Chain A
């Protein structure tokens, strides 16, 4: 078990180092950092001094080592665009994105699981087939299109909810939340739904497939024979056996949900880190891009590693398989 743990952690560290290398390459070689930082009045001597101060004359390995060392302490340098600390910029935007992704995850479970159960029990009925077909469309629709359509229907035509921004937020220490004010909750509705739609279809299809398998098993037949009420069989006995893969997929997908949130955030002008990243991309603000890449990949890799380790704890066969 310890060998497995060490191997899995070493793998995660290796992947993070590779991501850091990528981020470093972007920061260092996609355009000259001095040229991007300097303004017009800067003299040649100042430029050389800045180059020396940033350590750009050191060897590649020294520079990369320093980059990794700083990044591990949460220091990604300062933004080219407004001179602020990158980590501070990202930390300010972090709660908005997390709230969006968390609410989207909750929505996807709350909507996806019941739909999956219904389509599994009432297989072949018109509404189940209809939901199956809609789920293909749900997978095919890009998330920005879903966002635009939601805005067009619910904000522009019906005028029910705000279409952009975060509404009023409340500060809880360094965390800002929109969940405590009515306007914050109303603004959260459309973006989280747009982000969740893809996830809803995934959860629904997964639950449906698992349910159909479990419903064929002996213990369900036995429960039926014993006269247990149907809803109790479905929701108490069968559903519980389906939830493990759903939990895994939700945990694994949370990282990509945060990444895909950048599209949703752009559509809804949601002030999260995704929008910060897209602005950085258009302004070629390399430190912010590198910082965002490292942080999102870190979340992604950490979740995947945790899921793997959790699996190995639950199922000893996996430990031997990967050795």
Chain B
């Protein structure tokens, strides 16, 4: 009998996937069409962007593949369209579809990197401020107040412009992605830090934390192992919505000419380049990157909207 139980318990214990399929989160996902649409679009965009070297008809960074006589070709459904330039070419003969796929990859990578970095900064500073309180809390939150009293886009522009100036000239093109991540992080971490700090102050007073302190658990361990997991739900929502914001900020900076250089164009850079030809009838060089950027951000925001509602205990 005991043997029998021991044999069947592992089999009966649901796998991770099965548990996920039974969770409230999955249920709310399957019952919200906009979330499904968002997830499908986002997955498609990410997969196509990261398989760009495999599926793109052209490597837009390789000057040898650009032919000037193929420049300003309209999309394939127009009269002068040519295979394989499905979405047409720009003024230098660059295939728009390839440029957009590679550009999305840059945009997504910068977005992910800035969210990860601002999470790391915001979570650790928020935990420290909330857990230790007093001087360090006051100090960090004052800095946050100041950053919040300057419009975020201004912070990002200033950091990006000044940091670029500090870089030696030969590093400016290579370093622009890192500068952008830094600029977006500096304008975004405050929100995480505030959320985590508020939650940490609540959790700090609870019995399990007091018990851990009595057991002389190191402060770092209490913060990371005990308090942090209890603050993650609102952070997850904020991180999703901020991913969309980060992509937008990057696109805006690149559009203003202080982001990614034309040699490594992100979606924002492509829009900036295309915008110069707005009045010469070459509408496809600006419209397609715009559409791609909107699809990207809208799908992220649809997911964020769903997460916010699904994880909000008040709405359950």
Chain A residues in 8 Å Cβ range of B302: 136
The secondary structure that dominates the B interface is helix
CA distance A278 to B165 in the complex (A): 15
Q: Which of A14, A136, A263, A284 contacts B153 (CB 8 A)?
A: A263
The closest CB in chain B to the CB of A297 belongs to B150
CA distance A163 to B275 in the complex (A): 12
The closest CB in chain A to the CB of B161 belongs to A281
Pick out which of these stretches binds chain B: A100-108, A142-150, A165-173, A210-218.
A142-150
B76 within 8 A of A: no
Contact digits for B138-170, partner A, Cβ 8 Å, 1 yes 0 no:
000010011001110110011001100110000
Contact A156 B290 (CB under 8 A): no
B271 within 8 A of A: yes
Q: Which of A30, A142, A297 contacts B252 (CB 8 A)?
A: A142
Contact B271 A284 (CB under 8 A): no
The closest CB in chain B to the CB of A31 belongs to B165
B255 within 8 A of A: yes
Chain B residues in 8 Å Cβ range of A133: 34
Q: Which of B142, B149, B162, B294 contacts A145 (CB 8 A)?
A: B294
Contact B165 A30 (CB under 8 A): yes
Q: Which of B146, B278, B305 contacts A156 (CB 8 A)?
A: B278
Find residues 250-290 in chain B having any chain A CB closer than 8 Å to their own CB: 251-252, 255-258, 271, 275, 278-279, 283, 286-287, 290
Contact B248 A293 (CB under 8 A): no
Q: Least Cβ distance of B151 to chain A in Å?
A: 3
CA distance A256 to B156 in the complex (A): 14
Chain B residues in 8 Å Cβ range of A50: none
A19-B149, A151-B278 are known contacts. Are A140 and B256 too (CB-CB below 8 A)?
Answer: no
Q: Which of A266, A278, A296 contacts B151 (CB 8 A)?
A: A296
B209 within 8 A of A: no
Q: Least Cβ distance of B296 to chain A in Å?
A: 9
Chain B residues in 8 Å Cβ range of A306: none
B122 within 8 A of A: no
Chain A residues in 8 Å Cβ range of B283: 152, 156
Chain B residues in 8 Å Cβ range of A139: 301
Contact A304 B149 (CB under 8 A): yes
Contact B278 A148 (CB under 8 A): yes
Q: Least Cβ distance of A308 to chain B in Å?
A: 12
CA distance A151 to B276 in the complex (A): 12
A121 within 8 A of B: no
Contact B165 A260 (CB under 8 A): no
Contact A144 B258 (CB under 8 A): no
Contact A259 B278 (CB under 8 A): no
A271 within 8 A of B: no
Find residues 236-256 in chain B having any chain A CB closer than 8 Å to their own CB: 244, 248, 251-252, 255-256
Contact A297 B298 (CB under 8 A): no
A148-B275, A282-B258, A296-B154 are known contacts. Are A18 and B146 too (CB-CB below 8 A)?
Answer: yes
A: number of interface residues (CB 8 Å): 44
Find residues 107-144 in chain A having any chain B CB closer than 8 Å to their own CB: 133, 136-137, 139-144
The secondary structure that dominates the A interface is helix
A195 within 8 A of B: no
Contact B286 A152 (CB under 8 A): yes
Q: Which of A140, A144, A156 contacts B301 (CB 8 A)?
A: A140
Q: Least Cβ distance of B143 to chain A in Å?
A: 8
A263-B153, A281-B157, A297-B150 are known contacts. Are A142 and B293 too (CB-CB below 8 A)?
Answer: yes
Q: Which of A30, A136, A255 contacts B305 (CB 8 A)?
A: A136
A30-B165, A260-B153 are known contacts. Are A289 and B158 too (CB-CB below 8 A)?
Answer: yes
Chain A residues in 8 Å Cβ range of B154: 259, 293, 296-297
A301 within 8 A of B: yes
B112 within 8 A of A: no
Q: Least Cβ distance of B244 to chain A in Å?
A: 7
B109 within 8 A of A: no
A26 within 8 A of B: yes
CA distance A19 to B154 in the complex (A): 12
Contact A145 B271 (CB under 8 A): yes
The closest CB in chain A to the CB of B163 belongs to A30
Q: Which of B149, B287, B294 contacts A301 (CB 8 A)?
A: B149
B297 within 8 A of A: yes
Contact A293 B279 (CB under 8 A): no
Q: Least Cβ distance of B152 to chain A in Å?
A: 8
Contact digits for A8-32, partner B, Cβ 8 Å, 1 yes 0 no:
0001001100110010001000110
Contact digits for A177-189, partner B, Cβ 8 Å, 1 yes 0 no:
0000000000000
CA distance A22 to B146 in the complex (A): 10
CA distance A160 to B98 in the complex (A): 34
CA distance A178 to B151 in the complex (A): 27
A300 within 8 A of B: yes
What are 14 pairs between A and B in contact, CB < 8 Å? A26-B162, A142-B251, A142-B255, A144-B251, A148-B278, A152-B287, A163-B278, A163-B279, A260-B153, A262-B153, A262-B157, A263-B255, A282-B258, A293-B150
Q: Return the 7 tightest CB-CB contacts between A and B, nearest first.
A: A259-B151, A18-B146, A30-B162, A140-B297, A140-B298, A281-B161, A256-B151
**A140-B244, A156-B279 known; 19 other A-B pairs, CB under 8 Å?**
A19-B150, A22-B158, A26-B162, A30-B162, A31-B165, A139-B301, A140-B294, A140-B298, A142-B248, A145-B294, A148-B271, A149-B290, A152-B278, A260-B153, A263-B252, A266-B255, A266-B256, A278-B256, A293-B150
